[in-house]
Amino acid sequence: MGHEQKKAFNRLEQMPASPPADPIFGSGLAFLISKGISEQRARSILGKLRKDVGNVEASRLLSQAEKQDISAPVGWLEAASKSHRQGKVSDDFREITYQGTPADQQPAWARGAA
């Protein structure tokens, strides 16, 4: 390792580790405030969003709203949250069809049916 590389490496070691940006209460909060929503109301909205859809989905929805520069994000987030909750239940069971019990799967003669 050369002298310059060592100096650069030493500088990196001395730098404080910055925590990763919080997509919900960091950039998501900043986005809502930039749209004219008070900080207190924005925090309440974000807390409800997290509770309703979870951290990962809340982060995804906030990112999508920011990318699309949604002008009325509160209504948009509420609708997206509701849609996600309704879709999740149907997605969980979409591929499942009732096949009966294991006994039902046996041939009729094995079940004692005439």
Q: Closest Cα partner for 53 from 21, 14, 87?
A: 87
pLDDT, residue 8, reads: 60
65-100 tens-digit pLDDT: 999 999 999 999 999 998 887 776 445 545 555 555
34, 100, 103, 105 from 108: Cα distances, Å? 68, 13, 10, 9
pTM over 0.75: no
